[in-house]
Amino acid sequence: MTLTAVLLLAAALIGIGIYGTLSQQSFVMLMMGLELMLNGVMLAAVGFWAMSGAGAPEGQLLTIVVMAVMAIEMAMGFALVVAVYRGKQADVTESIADLKG
């Protein structure tokens, strides 16, 4: 697989993630869009490291760290969604407009 193909796939993931984040009002779909964007960035970084640095271990380590951060972000995000749903019975972003500071 060439670097161009990897970067095109990464750009497609980022584009789908941006669309999903900006067009959806459900918390779960919003978080899925954010995850797709992070996966696209991760794929681009791994592609660059694999094609330029002969698979340098630093790139692989950074990818593992990003995956761990993504897992933590998803856990915290779902905890926040559950807390908001329990408190306000709201599952879309528009129904919690009164939480603004």
The number of C-alpha atoms within 13 Å of 18 and in the hemisphere containing its C-beta is 8
Structure tokens at 11: 């750009």
Written as tens digits, the pLDDT of the chain (101 aa) is 788 999 999 999 999 999 998 988 787 888 889 889 989 988 888 888 888 766 667 667 878 888 898 889 888 888 887 887 787 777 666 666 665 55
Contacts of 39 (CB under 8 A, 6+ apart): 13, 17, 70
Between CA 72 and CA 68 the distance in angstroms is 6
Between CA 50 and CA 48 the distance in angstroms is 6
Phi, psi values for residue 92, rounded to 5°: -125, 160
Structure tokens at 45: 């970084």
Class of the domain covering 3-99: mainly alpha
Contacts of 49 (CB under 8 A, 6+ apart): 55, 56, 58, 59, 60
Q: Supply the pTM of this predicted model.
A: 0.74
Q: Where are the domains of the chain?
A: 3-99
